[in-house]
Structure 1
């Protein structure tokens, strides 16, 4: 059986404003530039970055590109948050289905329900079809269903106005058995990280999740909860909500380009963990490897999108 890679990388949250990070003159040594060049070509040759035209030559062989994409295809590193009311369930389901039905993001993923008032994590789950699973959880039926949280959600809306929901998106190329297995590891990581941090599982989680995933949980894994509930500012969190991304094509493409930067930053910072500076570092590197005027990363930097506020950051509902 092939070794499954941990789904979630390490997160490093630092007290630095994103605008300060963007203002820094980030330099790259030759070895880093060469590595990012290989990453960029791997994306382009396999159709992931069809919006760009690289300035570099095609790789001498595709073996490296395939190994690289195998490593990144199971990596989930783009968090998208939303907060919805009971009568907005259908609207959010439709937006989620639209977001994960495109060619860029997979329907696979990890998701989280949370309290928008206290930022308490209520449930962590995984699904091979995020939209379908969200619909099951949010059915108004009071009938019992194995593994489904419709009872808890219906009871929640009996006494609360809003519920938080977040997803960690995966590349559309990561839809095979390894990607699904890696999702299980990621779910196990998060559940165990919650237990380590707070002494118990999220209150709606009845099971512990993957034991192999639990073994990967570290102190840095706990940082994912601050991203999933939008407690801390980070460029690993999308600048738009799920519903906003589904109807904003420009923002959607910015997030596709940010995914490649987040992924590269994750792979280049496996030991120390990823922060916003590492993501900006990768965006600038991709920008340098492209023809002026034909690079989505150039547009990402010049548009001011990275400076836009993070949805629901410290906002109580």
Structure 2
């Protein structure tokens, strides 16, 4: 399913970008860059969660390469995390990172498609974290009830969702085709409206219907000045590359030509040469308790 934001729950690629041999579409690299660029914002969300006690057993649903897993391990040093994803490659990447960080004993990986009716045994976690994964599920109502039943009584479910694709360029960029990025986003939104009906949804009522008590909702505005930050440049290159690939058929020849110039990693007008990049997006988190 084409989407410029990572969707860790499913193994289908979201981005095209030069990557590692086990990750030919570069999605793992994009997920890692996303974690690096937005680390402070993710930490602020984990700090905000209305937890009664520090969780000891955490499940990360749709964990990707471990953005939430490692943020939660950092936040809760006595916790163990069960990281669940459909992609064997992402889980392998996550395990390698856990070993490199000396955290292997605190992480268990489980490969599972959460659209299957039979879920893996998640134990009885105190905290379930699902970031940018719930809106990809075919039947999120069933998934929400499964999480509710798996949680320990009094446990917390944190649903983190994206308000859309991140923006990077000024409105008047690129100089030869101003507004190109916004046209990419509009085309992607039209493309995704049919097959991702829960993207941008209000999860509060769905959580309540599944038996949860919603105890908090917070929207975090993200604005990270890029300047000549190489990490943000690579992040922008990957996201816009995948976005452009997904909507190429909807773009004018002039926009395609301008996009090719932007995505040329060695070109004088490429995004890696720009000094005016800013990561702009929003993330909303719902904190729901099993009472």
TM above 0.5, one fold? no
TM-score (norm 2): 0.26
Q: Which has the higher contact order (CA 8 A, sep 6+)?
A: 1
TM-score (norm 1): 0.24
Higher strand share: 2
